Amino acid sequence: MGKSSGKKWYSWYFDFNLLYRILIGLVLGVILGLVFKDKILWIQPLGDLFVRLLKMIMMPIIVSTLIVGASSVSPANLGKVGIRIIVLYLITSAVAVVIGLIMGAIFQPSANLAMENVADAAARIAATPKLSDTLLAIVPTSILQSLVNEAVLAVIFAALIMGIAISYLRVSGDERKEKAAAVLYNFFDGVAEVMMLIIKGIMQYAPIGVLSLVSVVFATNGPKVVGSLGVVTAACFIGYALHVIIVYLGMVKFYARLPIKRFFRDAKDPFITAFVTRSSNGTLPVTMEAAENLGVHKDIYSFSLPLGATINMDGTAIYQGVCATFIAFSVWGHGFSIPQMGIIVVTATLASIGTAGVPGAGAIMLLLVLDSVGLPVTAGSVVAGAYAMILGIDALLDMGRTALNVTGDLSCTTTVASRMKELDMKKWAK
């Protein structure tokens, strides 16, 4: 204190561009993980701290932004935005499954089964959700309980309903009701703003969190990736890349008629954050800031992005297509028939909707997809062995699919905003 120069010994850290700091953390993490292997695992708590900080604000952000989002759109507009964004989310997810299946058919990944992870797979089998249960669970029996249990879909459902109700009350014409609705709206708006400020602070810790998370992934998975699972990894990542090029670039350039370069200037921040945190929900604040910088009207993104972070999972859909094919080839020695592929497109699209935006959730929903085509993962079975192998590299696959998941949310949101003329084009002139 008392010194007027203002420069502290740690000032250099905060003065340095955040994105570069995160990238340096990423590269250092890869190097440390590969070089020190097991010896670097002590670093894990530093990464866990980052994930915990993000998770801490996850539920308040989802609730506040969704309620504000749904209630700040007029009832007439809500229908228009809602239907457009949901249709776009569904179409892109279905296309993603098809790309995943095509990648699987081209690469034909197959494995000599290593059974060592079977116990782990068996533990997950117990947790296999039935499709009807997954869908029913969207409607909470207790809103508070679903908040406490972090049942994201149920919370989203309740928040949306509340937001929609507030939006109707705000234009009800009854002064008392309109005032009451305004109080609620302002309250949740305040919560949302506070959360956004907190996330700015948390992001200052991101470079260290990233370094730690990435080094642990590479320390535990590094060498395995080069084996037969390397093919699965390559098929997934090429699928992810194709989806970005064909679907997102195509949509932004030709449907929204916007310059790609400008889009990616802001889209890269959530892309990188998702890549390292492996959580669409955790990345949500960063995705929102990107949407803001892209000039998307708050009415749209505060509604579409939290929704997308939970129901729009294109990367997860591709992953499910590729991994189901890998398991089929490993177990049957051949891939899927056309009707089976049709079933996978439907179930994987639904499964990706039901996948929570948290690390590793897609691997659990993969069980649903496998079940639908006669590849049930049962304890000790060959299918379980193949599935266990996938689990071994899940962290790596999850990084790519989560990055894609959030880029999909941002692409669809920007596209809908542009089509509805709700995009501040001044931000695109720069």
Tokens 């069980």 belong to which residue?
Answer: 367
Closest alpha carbon to 262 in 294, 296, 292, 297: 294
User: Measured at CB, which residue is nearest to ligand ASP?
Assistant: 362
**295 vs 315, which CB is nearer to ligand ASP?**
315
Partners of 296 in the β-ladder: 423
Give me the least distance between CB of 171 and ligand ASP, in Å please.
35
Q: What angle separates helix 338-354 from helix 314-332, to the nearest 10 degrees?
A: 140
DSSP 8-state code for residue 223: G
User: Distance between CA 290 and CA 219 in Å, rounded?
Assistant: 31
DSSP 8-state code for residue 248: I
Give me the least distance between CB of 186 and ligand ASP, in Å please.
31
Give me the least distance between CB of 355 and ligand ASP, in Å please.
5
**Are 313 and 401 contacting, i.e. CB atoms less than 8 angstroms apart?**
yes
| Residues binding ligand ASP (CB under 6 A) | 278-280, 313, 316, 355, 357-362, 398, 401-402, 405
**239 vs 362, which CB is nearer to ligand ASP?**
362
**124 vs 401, which CB is nearer to ligand ASP?**
401
Give me the least distance between CB of 280 and ligand ASP, in Å please.
3
**402 vs 415, which CB is nearer to ligand ASP?**
402
Contacting residues for 247 by C-beta, under 8 A, at least 6 apart: 92, 95, 96, 314, 408, 411
Closest alpha carbon to 345 in 174, 92, 116: 92
In one-letter notation, the amino acid at residue 267 is A
Closest alpha carbon to 147 in 64, 68, 60: 60
Tokens 């997810």 belong to which residue?
Answer: 93
DSSP 269-284: HHHHHHHHH--HHHHH
**108 vs 128, which CB is nearer to ligand ASP?**
128
User: Distance between CA 325 and CA 99 in Å, rounded?
Assistant: 12
Closest alpha carbon to 188 in 55, 57, 66: 66
**269 vs 299, which CB is nearer to ligand ASP?**
269
Give me the least distance between CB of 222 and ligand ASP, in Å please.
20
DSSP 8-state code for residue 247: I
**158 vs 361, which CB is nearer to ligand ASP?**
361
**Are 274 and 406 contacting, i.e. CB atoms less than 8 angstroms apart?**
yes
**110 vs 280, which CB is nearer to ligand ASP?**
280
DSSP 8-state code for residue 296: B
When computed from its CA atoms, the radius of gyration of the chain, rounded to whole angstroms, is 22
User: Distance between CA 248 and CA 175 in Å, rounded?
Assistant: 45
**266 vs 398, which CB is nearer to ligand ASP?**
398
**Are 376 and 257 contacting, i.e. CB atoms less than 8 angstroms apart?**
no
**71 vs 407, which CB is nearer to ligand ASP?**
407
DSSP 231-295: HHHHHHHHHHHHHIIIIIIHIIIIIS---HHHHHHHHHHHHHHHHHH--HHHHHHHHHHHHHHTT
3-state secondary structure of 423: strand
3-state secondary structure of 294: coil
Give me the least distance between CB of 125 and ligand ASP, in Å please.
17
Give me the least distance between CB of 239 and ligand ASP, in Å please.
14
**140 vs 408, which CB is nearer to ligand ASP?**
408
Give me the least distance between CB of 108 and ligand ASP, in Å please.
23
Give me the least distance between CB of 277 and ligand ASP, in Å please.
8
Give me the least distance between CB of 96 and ligand ASP, in Å please.
11
Give me the least distance between CB of 185 and ligand ASP, in Å please.
29
